[in-house]
Amino acid sequence: MAENANSAITKEKPLETLPGQERYVAPLEETPLQQVDSVDEAAPATSMWADAWRTLRRNPLFIISGILILFIIVVALFPSLFTKNNPTYCSLEYSLDGSSAGHPFGYDLQGCDIYSRVIYGTRASLSVGILTTIIVVVVGALVGAIAGFCGGWIDSVLSRLVDIFMAIPLLLGAIVVLQMFKTTGSVWKVVLVLALFGWVSTARIARGAVLSSKNLEFNTASTALGSTPMRNLFRHIIPNSLAPIIVIATTSLGSYIVSEATLSFLGIGLPSTTVSWGGDISSAQSLLRTDPMVLFYPSCALAITVLAFIMMGDAVKDALDPKSRTA
């Protein structure tokens, strides 16, 4: 009886006509639709890399650091364009002389032209940084990708290996290894030693990126179309995980240049016959009180180079990882 009465009331008085619940709907011609989310169908499709490049081009930090890095690369590749003096030619009669025509930075304690040594020292420091970064990215990305993609005992073994190397500080491990193998120093020797202890950070980043990418829809679709796991890894997963790897590689390049300078400063990095900023800083440390400018010029070149790569790393991070941007 109660149900029949309620249904009768509902039929006689619909819900919208109940007191206090009246609704007003404006006519369509009074409220025309707005094209808020309209999409230009004729525009070409964009990708993450295209969006990142568009962001980078508008970032003053990227423009400034890019100009500095381009200039540093030109100096490293073509030092003869900036100086005609031989950086290894030294004469004690010019010891600690001031600046003169063709020698704007003066001479060091051994009578070597400081300006030419700063120019030619760019090549050694930049070579160590770039070569170390390439090896670290290749080895670290490969180890991290395999660990994250395979999982199971492979992931456990590789993760424990990463933990072991992570427990060893970069400079301390490099000092110990270089002291153990006291052979003729070279750029490749320093590069391999730095890469030996530097790949672990890239491996951890790559593992996390692959873990978040391997369960996405594109991997499932590729598997459904008959693609093998290894093909998925190298063709789809790793390319879609490169963004954080590129960010850490750009930022770490400056730290490898500093590490080379530190090792050369301690006398266990590049040999004394190789012109490098670290070696010149080490030779000039005793003149800090009497002739500080001898120490200042190579230190300033090192600081500007490292600062340029750090600025580039920050700009790339903002472009590839929008969540990291500060408000």
141-159 burial: b if 16+ Cβ within 10 Å, else e: bbbbbbbbbeeeeebeebb
State how far the alpha carbon of 165 is from the alpha carbons of 148, 161, 194, 195, 199, in Å: 18, 7, 12, 11, 9
Q: Which of 27-31, 37-41, 194-198 is predicted with the least confidence, judged by mean pLDDT? A: 37-41
Q: By C-alpha distance, which of 60, 134, 120 is closest to 315?
A: 60
pLDDT reported for residue 24: 64
pLDDT digits (tens, 9 = 90+) for 239-259: 888 888 888 888 888 889 999
DSSP state of 233: I
pLDDT reported for residue 5: 46
Q: Which of 31-40, 201-210, 227-236 is predicted with the least confidence, judged by mean pLDDT? A: 31-40
148 or 28, which is more confident: 148
- Of how many residues is the chain composed? 327
Query: Which ranges of the chain would DSSP assign to H, the alpha helix?
Result: 2-12, 48-57, 60-77, 114-150, 152-166, 170-180, 187-213, 217-224, 229-232, 242-265, 277-284, 292-320
Q: How many CA atoms lie within 13 A of 124 on its CB side?
A: 31
Evaluate if residue 14 carries a pLDDT over 60: no
Q: By C-alpha distance, which of 182, 197, 214, 315 is closest to 256?
A: 197
pLDDT reported for residue 140: 92
Determine contact, residues 179/263, Cβ cutoff 8 Å. no
Evaluate if residue 90 carries a pLDDT over 70: yes
* Confidence tier at 77 by pLDDT (50, 70, 90): very high
pLDDT reported for residue 36: 55
In CATH, 122-279+301-324 is 1.10.3720.10 = yes
Evaluate if residue 92 carries a pLDDT over 70: yes
pLDDT digits (tens, 9 = 90+) for 270-313: 887 888 898 888 888 888 888 888 889 999 999 999 999 999 98
